[in-house]
Amino acid sequence: ILTTIQTKIYNPSYDKNLYALNVIISCLQIDFMLHSSLHCKVPNGAIDITSVLIFLNALTDAPHFLMEFIQGSPTSMVVILDLLPRKDLALHPEYLHKYYEHTCLDKQREKIEELPQTRPYRSPSLFVRSACSPTAVSVTIDCGQGGEGTLEEIVCGHLASAVKEVLQIWLHSCARDTSEMEEAEREIMIKRDQAVRLKSIEVDLTANLPRMFGPDVSGHIIAEIRKAFGVQLQEA
């Protein structure tokens, strides 16, 4: 199923949105991109995790792009799709309107949650939940026993359509944007970005990679990603 997702969504030969992203990437306000695909055998089967995380730079306050698929069986998967806000939405209603209301982003969440096979997914991390926007797609898709075909139909149909639409909104409304900010405001945003990067490593990678690949291999991976993110992990 994840191979199908990657073919339908990531491969430039099939996805003009990602192809456009690669072509115009030098014109976008992108600071960091991470695309990872992890496969691990576990006692009761295998786990596949595919993630795309795109951070914008400090020339804009537009949201970051997040997409993650976690598949633990042939008939079910967790989907997280969001534009991560870089400002407190309660304190900045104009930011909420510009990037989330005006773009009708919530319609994509509604389309996915309307499917009878979906139910809300709640991350065990309170930080992860607090970092996401109110329009985030965060669901478990469970098609039940013998539902491999149904899951593939959802992935190639409803899910692929929602991902493409959110990506297109992000490309047109966020990735090429520049923002006028006071220097103090920009510094606060940079600190927020660094905190999100740090926690994304602490919560996700340091919790999951050692169980999947062992401490030695995972330690090297985490160290390299930490360097790329430009953050230092806090000592336990």
pTM score = 0.81
Which of 31-35, 76-80, 105-109 has the lowest average pLDDT?
31-35
Domain count, the chain: 1
* Domain range for 48: 2-179
In the structure, what pLDDT confidence band is assigned to residue 2 with cuts at 50, 70 and 90? very low
Look at residue 64 in the predicted model and tell me its pLDDT.
96
In the structure, what pLDDT confidence band is assigned to residue 34 with cuts at 50, 70 and 90? confident
What angle, 0 to 180 degrees and rounded to 10, lies between the N-to-C axes of helices 160-173 and 16-24? Answer: 30
Q: State how far Cα 229 lies from the chain centre.
A: 15
- pLDDT above 70: residue 95: yes
For residue 75, give the CATH number of its domain: 3.40.1500.20
Q: Provide the H-helix boundaries in 174-214.
A: 183-199, 206-213
CA distances for 210 relative to 7, 46, 146, 221, angstroms: 28, 15, 32, 10
Which of 33, 61, 42 has the alpha carbon at shortest distance from 180?
61
Q: What is the pLDDT of residues 191-221, one digit of tens each?
A: 999 888 877 766 666 666 776 677 888 788 7
> Edge-to-edge strands of the sheet including 118-120?
30-42, 45-56, 64-73, 76-84, 137-142, 118-120
Question: Would residue 38 count as lying in a domain?
Answer: yes
Question: Would residue 67 count as lying in a domain?
Answer: yes
Question: Would residue 77 count as lying in a domain?
Answer: yes
Question: Would residue 235 count as lying in a domain?
Answer: no
Question: Would residue 18 count as lying in a domain?
Answer: yes
Look at residue 9 in the predicted model and tell me its pLDDT.
41
- pLDDT above 80: residue 54: yes
